[in-house]
Structures are given as structure tokens and as C-alpha cells.
Amino acid sequence: MNLTEVWTAYMATLRERAPVTAAAIRPPRSVDEREAAERATTPWTDELCEFYGLHDGQHETSGEEHVPVGSVLPGFTLYSLDRVVDRHRFSLEGPHSIDDLGDDWPAVVRAQEAGETAEMFVPAYVPFAEDGGGGPLYVDTRPGARQGCVRMFTYEGADEGGPWFDSLTEFIAALCRSVETGSAIYDELTPSFEDGALQWCDPGLPGGSMAHAVALPIVRIPFALVDFRPSQLSDDDDLIDLDHVRRIVIETARRLHPSAMVEDARAVYRQVPRVRGANMNWWVSMNGLEVVFTAIVTGEDHDVIVLELPSGGCVFEADE
């Protein structure tokens, strides 16, 4: 699936489960305004241009009109175009100190490719969201194999830590999977729905319970799911054969819906570890519509457990 398809699927899920949060997403600005934002920052990737062709960030209520609207991104507020330009300029005006890295370090940074650590905010970083402390989430537009990866910048650790996701498409697909299944995403944040708003909470902290899951159907699985970041994988890792998994997903869909026209199955992730509990969502084209299935890696050969997900989401409970 491309970014537009994944974003559309995510918004459809939010309109059903968290309509207040979905309504807080601003419609996209004009092409001229988007191109002006790009000129004011740095050349954008095609995917980033596509991203801001889908929205103009998230509206947050304040003052007397303040009501919780939730957050479309876990722990981050999605930027408007104006905010992208403003934070890009601000980050460049207050550079992270590199005095202790030697006189040759700027030349090293200029030779780097996307995904490498510059120890500073460079012009090719395009921020699109920020956390409560003002640390931006950004797209690394530098050239190289990882161009377009999603990374985090902090004003203490700069760009250390490497990419979180290889692309915006991969990031939004992971969010959609988390909201559809109730599973945790990075930092163990779990989706919660309160008064029509999507909140993200840590189950290990007070107030971070799964109370929202009471109304969701429970799906039993033989073992617990494990989280992973595809951007941290390489061809040298032990990976599962996704072509094999795709065939199993299609066969399962046809077995469960023998009278349906099952045409294809698509996943966003290009690499998945052969580790028990690793899982990926598949969008199956069925009678002209897309139905979401999940495939859970067993850890044995390339076998997976394939389940059709309830349309309104579910909660996985492991027998182990």
C-alpha cells in the first residue's frame, strides 16, 4: 500500500473509533502553499509532499474552548505547514553544539547519507511533529538508501538513536495496526479511546490501564506478540519470506470466505524477523473492499498464524 492508502485506512479507523481526534485533522492546504513551505525549508521527498497533500496537521483546542481531542500520533502533535517552516527555521537558528567533535566534523556531516548521526540539526531534516518537550519528529531527506526515514531529534541527544521507521508509509501503517488491534507501539504506548478521542498511554503507569478495551472483542492467540522496528532490520537478519506469507493470507481469506472474490493481499512492511510473535497486517482485496488480516510469526520455518481482524478492532490475549 502507498502512503495515501495507508493514511486513508488510518483515518477511516479513527472516524469509527475516535471521531473527535479524526475531526481535529485539518484539511490539506493548496498546492501553492505546500510548494512555498518546501521552498522555505529544503527539497522534500515525494512521500513527504504526498503526506502534506493529505492534511495540514492537527488542531488543538485551547483556552475556553479547550476539550481533549487526543493525538493522531503517539506522544506527538502533528504539525501544520506553518509549524513545519517555523520549527525548521528555529532548529537551524539554535544549533546543537559540536565543538567537541573536532574541526573536521562539518565536512563529515556534509558527506553523510540519510539515517546517519550528524550530532546536530541539519537543513535536510524536515520536522513534522513534536513531543511535549518540543523535540521534533522529522523526515531525513538526505540522499542514500534510507532517504525519507522517520527520526527523532532531542535538544540533549540531537539525532542519536537512528531511524525509527524507514518511511512515513511504514510509520502510519504501524499506527493503524496498533489502533486496529489495541497492541502497543514504540515506548510501549497503547491506544485508548475516551469520549471519542484517541489517547496513548503506558499500561505500566497509573491511569494507563486498558479500560478502553472492555468493549472490544478478545482474540485468543497462543503466545504474546512482540514489537519490532522494520527500519532496524537488514537482509543479513533472519527474515520471514513475505511472498510465502502473502500466499497463506490469500488462502486463509478464500477458505474463510469461499463465496467472495479474493484478488490480492498487500502489506506495508518489506522485512519482518522470523521471531515468534512478530506480526504484520495485510490488507486483502475482497469483493472490491479491503479487509484487514494479521499474520503472526510462529518462529518455525516460515509458518504464520493468520487471523481476520474485527472491523472495530480487538484485543489480543495470549494463552502463555
Phi/psi for 173 (5° steps) reads -65, -40
pLDDT digits (tens, 9 = 90+) for 53-65: 999 999 876 545 5
Kindly state whether residue 302 falls inside one of the protein's structural domains.
Answer: yes
Distance CA 281, CA 248 (A): 13
Q: Return all residues near 119 (Cβ < 8 A) that are at least 6 apart.
A: 96, 98, 101, 105, 109, 158, 159, 160
pLDDT at site 219: 83
pLDDT at site 66: 62
Phi/psi for 48 (5° steps) reads -65, -40
pLDDT at site 268: 74
Q: Is there a single domain that holds both residue 157 and residue 19?
A: yes
Q: How far is CA 254 from the centre of its chain?
A: 29
Closest CA to 166 of 143, 145, 180, 184: 145
Confidence of residue 210 (pLDDT cuts 50, 70, 90): very low
Q: Return all residues near 25 (Cβ < 8 A) that are at least 6 apart.
A: 11, 55, 57, 58, 59, 72, 78
Q: Is there a single domain that holds both residue 23 and residue 107?
A: yes
Torsion of CA 19, 20, 23, 26, to 10 degrees: -140
Q: Which three cell numbers stand for residue 2?
A: 502507498
Kindly state whether residue 114 falls inside one of the protein's structural domains.
Answer: yes
Kindly state whether residue 204 falls inside one of the protein's structural domains.
Answer: no
Q: Is there a single domain that holds both residue 132 and residue 264?
A: no
Kindly state whether residue 296 falls inside one of the protein's structural domains.
Answer: yes
Kindly state whether residue 201 falls inside one of the protein's structural domains.
Answer: no
pLDDT at site 25: 95
Last residue of a domain, one of 139, 170, 201: 170
For the chain, the domain total comes to: 2
Q: Is there a single domain that holds both residue 160 and residue 270?
A: no
Residue 214 has pLDDT above 50, yes or no: no
Confidence of residue 204 (pLDDT cuts 50, 70, 90): low
Strand pairing category for 197-201 and 149-152:
unpaired
Q: Is there a single domain that holds both residue 221 and residue 94?
A: no
Residue 152 has pLDDT above 60, yes or no: yes
| Higher-confidence position of 209 and 120 | 120
Number of neighbouring beta carbons within 10 Å of residue 85? 19
Q: Is there a single domain that holds both residue 54 and residue 128?
A: yes
Q: Return all residues near 284 (Cβ < 8 A) that are at least 6 apart.
A: 249, 250, 253, 262, 264, 265, 290, 291, 292, 293
Q: Is there a single domain that holds both residue 156 and residue 271?
A: no
Q: Give residue 164's domain range.
A: 3-170
Distance CA 172, CA 165 (A): 10
> How much is the average pLDDT of 148-160?
86
Q: Is there a single domain that holds both residue 128 and residue 17?
A: yes
pLDDT at site 254: 95
Distance CA 175, CA 73 (A): 8
| Higher-confidence position of 289 and 207 | 289
Kindly state whether residue 61 falls inside one of the protein's structural domains.
Answer: yes
Q: Is there a single domain that holds both residue 166 and residue 220?
A: no
> How much is the average pLDDT of 133-141?
91
Kindly state whether residue 92 falls inside one of the protein's structural domains.
Answer: yes
Enter the pTM of the model: 0.71
Last residue of a domain, one of 170, 185, 208: 170
Residue 211 has pLDDT above 60, yes or no: no
Q: Is there a single domain that holds both residue 127 and residue 232?
A: no
Q: Is there a single domain that holds both residue 271 and residue 140?
A: no
Confidence of residue 209 (pLDDT cuts 50, 70, 90): very low
pLDDT at site 183: 81
Kindly state whether residue 193 falls inside one of the protein's structural domains.
Answer: no
Residue with cell 487471523: 307
Q: Is there a single domain that holds both residue 151 and residue 11?
A: yes
- Give the CATH number, domain containing residue 60: 3.40.1580
